[in-house]
């Protein structure tokens, strides 16, 4: 690596954000199916889908809370 090149994120983090971008277009019922399918998808991939589900959840579910609390509220609401 030359001195002018900079690594902004590790390869693992880049893959995670790639999963987030790839699954952002899924409708909520597909996201729920992916999150519930522990045998078929990796935990890393399911975490990316859960992040999208939390970010796309309606305000009626999340109540405008911080991310960690929104995640708990969304998981309770959808039963995942």
Give residue-wise pLDDT tens across range 10-65: 889 999 999 999 999 999 999 999 999 999 999 999 999 999 999 999 999 999 99
Higher per-residue pLDDT: 4 or 70? 70
pLDDT band per the 50, 70, 90 thresholds, residue 9? confident
Closest CA to 12 of 48, 38, 39, 37: 48
Sign of CA dihedral 52, 21, 10, 66: negative
What pTM did the predictor assign? 0.83
């Amino acid at each position: 690596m030359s001195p002018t090149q900079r690594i902004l994120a590790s390869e693992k983090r880049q893959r995670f954000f790639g999963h987030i971008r790839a699954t952002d277009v899924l409708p909520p019922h597909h996201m729920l199916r992916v999150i519930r399918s522990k045998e078929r998808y990796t935990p890393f991939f399911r975490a990316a889908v859960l992040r999208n589900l939390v970010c796309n959840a309606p305000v009626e579910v999340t109540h405008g809370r911080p991310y960690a609390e929104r995640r708990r509220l969304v998981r309770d609401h959808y039963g995942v």
